[in-house]
A and B are shown apart, each in its own frame.
Chain A
Amino acid sequence: MSTRESHCILLGGARLRSEVVMDDRKVVRAALGGDEEAFADLVRRYSGGLHRAVARIVLDDEEAWDVVQMAFIKAWQRLDRYNPRWSFSTWLYRIGTNLAIDLVRSRSSRQKAHRAGNEHQLRLVGGTEETTTRLEHGEVDGILRDLVRYLTPQQRSAFIMREIEDFETAEVAEILGCSTATVRNHVFQARKTLRREIQNRFPEFVPEDQRGQK
């Protein structure tokens, strides 16, 4: 299920995304007036999805919660600077992703990335029952967790937002504060690196005639 679909389901079934965005803007207006309960509703609505994305970037479940909490507090502090041209979730993901990228950078400068990876505890399900024939759900997430560490923080974020969380290119560009061309480039580079690592380390996912190719 994509982030977007889960938001709609959370808000009562067949609601259109535009309705969710409208509702968010109403809630943001209330929060701007100091309504903490309205803001708490936004936390309830988006913390799960943001945590999932951030955990895939920082590779640590608990640190991801710290990032999510910090992102919401920053969002509250800067609520008057929120541009309603973008959905609240895009704006929130921008704050959260920047914090996550900062964390990965500061951590890699301390040479601790390998340790954090071992502590990652994301639980996992796939889609529907019939999608489970060949691949175990946990297996796919385990591979992703093993391999994203080969990506730069920007590539990681772009690939996860685009390929896992289903954000549109323009939204990912807004989240990362770069152009859509740069987003595409990050996704291409990420895919190239991930493909190479899958071929090296998980050749069972590569058809026999393609194994060994780079």
Chain B
Amino acid sequence: MSCEVYRELLPAYLDESLDEVRRTGFRSHLRSCVGCREFAIGEEPTLVFSLADAVDPSPDRIEACVTAVVAGIHQERLERRLRGSRRPWLAAAAAVVLAIVAASMWWLKSDDGVSSPTLQANDQGVEISSPVATEEIPAATEPPPRVEVEMVQEEVRVYQYAIGDDGTTGAVFIVNPAMEL
């Protein structure tokens, strides 16, 4: 099509009555033809924005977005699984049991002169605290541990209980949901 024909399309373009195919043709001509663009801007100043176009972001920025989205998906999946369990009372009961276990172990070990159990978080997002020394539980005879989970704000707490030869052992894992699962 000639420039003359494109210029005749301008009123129809502005009142949104051009079909999409001719509209696309009109817009790409406007981008490439300086004469028609200046004519069109003279008629309708907002057509100056037909020149606006941004660079695509860097591949690094795109990959950073991919990473953030995948981490978000992992977090969402974890939250959904936890919501799916629908047994919040179990987590609460587990927390109470754990507190009793930890307190009694602490009390016993304090008597023995062993240092009290510690509960610390680290930057990696995984934290394991064991109120008792692990060598007291022979792995081969250990019954399968009971595991409970609960969400506390952005934190996922996993309680693991095992019955050792000498009594009850409890462990708490605090999991950062953004971590690779």
Given contacts A40-B69, A169-B16, A187-B16, contact A141 B54 (CB under 8 A): yes
Please, which residues of chain A bring their CB within 8 A of the CB of B41? 205
A207 within 8 A of B: yes
A127 to B70, CA, bound (A): 34
Task: Tell me, rounded to whole Å, the shortest Cβ–Cβ distance linking A88 to chain B.
Answer: 14
Find the B residue at minimum CB distance from A136: B51
Interface residues of B in 42-79 (CB under 8 A from A): 42, 44-46, 48-57, 61-63, 65-66, 68-70, 72-73, 76
**B46 contacts A195, C-beta separation under 8 Å:** yes
B154 within 8 A of A: no
B45 touches which of A39, A73, A187, A195 (Cβ 8 Å): A195
Mark contacts of A184-204 with chain B using CB atoms, 8 A cut-off: 1 yes-contact digit, 0 otherwise.
100110010011001100100
Mark contacts of A40-82 with chain B using CB atoms, 8 A cut-off: 1 yes-contact digit, 0 otherwise.
1001100111011001000000000100111011001100000
A143 within 8 A of B: yes
A31 to B27, CA, bound (A): 35
Please, which residues of chain B bring their CB within 8 A of the CB of A124? 52-55
Task: Tell me, rounded to whole Å, the shortest Cβ–Cβ distance linking A57 to chain B.
Answer: 13
Given contacts A52-B56, A73-B76, A168-B20, contact A205 B45 (CB under 8 A): yes
B34 within 8 A of A: yes
Task: Tell me, rounded to whole Å, the shortest Cβ–Cβ distance linking A85 to chain B.
Answer: 17
Please, which residues of chain A bring their CB within 8 A of the CB of B66? 40, 43-44, 47
Please, which residues of chain A bring their CB within 8 A of the CB of B20? 168-169
Find the B residue at minimum CB distance from A191: B46
**A36 contacts B32, C-beta separation under 8 Å:** no
**A125 contacts B69, C-beta separation under 8 Å:** no
Task: Tell me, rounded to whole Å, the shortest Cβ–Cβ distance linking B74 to chain A.
Answer: 9
B83 within 8 A of A: no
**B65 contacts A69, C-beta separation under 8 Å:** yes
B31 within 8 A of A: yes
Please, which residues of chain A bring their CB within 8 A of the CB of B42? 207, 210
